[in-house]
Amino acid sequence: MAVGNFPFPKMHPVKGVRLASVQAGIRYSDRDDLVLLALAEGSEVAGVFTQNAFCAAPVQLCKQFLPGEIRYLLINSGNANACTGDQGLADALASCTQVAELGGVGAGQVLPFSTGVIGESLPMDKFAAAIPKLFPALADDNWNGAARAIMTTDTRPKGASEIIEHDGRTIAISGIAKGSGMIKPNMATMLAYVATDAKLPQAMLQALAKECVDGSFNRITVDGDTSTNDSSILVATGASGAVIESEQDPLYPLLRDALKRVHIQLAQSIVGDGEGATKFVTVDVRGGAEQSECVKVAYSVAQSPLVKTALFASDPNWGRIVAAIGYAGVEGLDDRAVTVHLNDVLIVENGGCAASYTEADGQREMDKDEILILIELGRGDAAAKVWTTDLSHDYVTINADYRS
């Protein structure tokens, strides 16, 4: 089940990026599950990764190889290669080595990524058989195929793409992501790959990657679980000829804002495809003394099981929302200064139910597929948004049956 309007868009080719996907039979039958991205020589690559202490073998190698002269990204679905010890590291490195030999580069120029079931070794015979098939399939227009091949419990592929026209040059930005469950920062059970054909220094690209992730993938939650494999990669090939050397360059804010939009679109697509989701929910907290307390309140509401089950039931039980605000841990919070809206309906003010509120108004808003919970703290000018879902029976069913 999926909610929200997130169709797979027209994906603009990014000069210097080619993609391929093939069937390896890692876990799934009759679908592609192995992906290769080939990057032009001279590309810069930045990454942001899970903060889970049990980070998967491919995440460990990515951290080891970055920053570096990366030429290929190898991605598999169906098996996370996480909690697999020394064998998992050896397997991930072996897959990089095979790609490197076929591509004529060093093993450290290949970044591996895996997603799927935790605690199982990779079927290396299937990798060995499938990797050679990737190279002849590389094409600059295979974003959709790659997006589908990295899916696990996802019900739809996720993509975002933009074009910037600047100083006579056309700069493309395209990205894909996967994720549906075990979604909670820092990072989530998600993989994301965003590329532009502008040229940026690696340090600037890494800073942009972190800024974009903080405002997108680190602002979503489906179930409050942080995965072992989360990776968000940002590539700048430079193949368009557009060069940014400093933040004072006129192109920099245009590219930064476009990258942020692409990341947010991908993050929201993940939430809209949350396991068992029937509601797409924005928790918008304003009026904080500082952003950190707005984030704290937003997550307290967004991942409250009682709030999420009320959302699934379309039950305007606003007491659950104010309870979650109250236990968020904001020191000195004045409950009488707090207001809460469901979409445009004021439900809480002056420490209690708003005088204008009616149950019928609340029910009308809760019956909708897309809901805004707007919270004003009355403490300052800081603000933050978090995107989340309801918690349905189907979420339990999907995860109870995941390994069967």
Catalytic residues: 189
Q: Are 140 and 165 contacting, i.e. CB atoms less than 8 angstroms apart?
A: no
Q: How many CB atoms lie within 10 A of CB 245?
A: 12
Burial of 291 (0-12, 13-18, 19+ CB in 10 A): middle
Q: Between β-strands 345-349 and 339-342, what pairing exists: parallel, antiparallel or unpaired?
A: antiparallel
* DSSP characters over 263-304: HHHHHHHHHHT-TT---EEEEEEEEESSHHHHHHHHHHHHT-
Q: CA-CA distance, 64 to 70, in Å (whole number)?
A: 12
Angle of CA points 203, 257, 269, to nearest 5°: 100
d(CA 200, CA 206): 10
Identity (one letter) of the amino acid at 228?
A: T
Q: For the beta carbon of residue 373, count every other beta carbon within 10 angstroms.
A: 26
- Alpha-carbon distance 274 to 277, whole Å? 5
Q: Starting from the edge strand earliest in sequence, which strands make up the sheet with 158-166, in order? A: 44-49, 231-236, 191-196, 169-178, 158-166
Q: Which helix (H) or strand (E) holds 120?
A: none
Q: Is 174 helix (H, G, I), strand (E, B) or coil?
A: strand
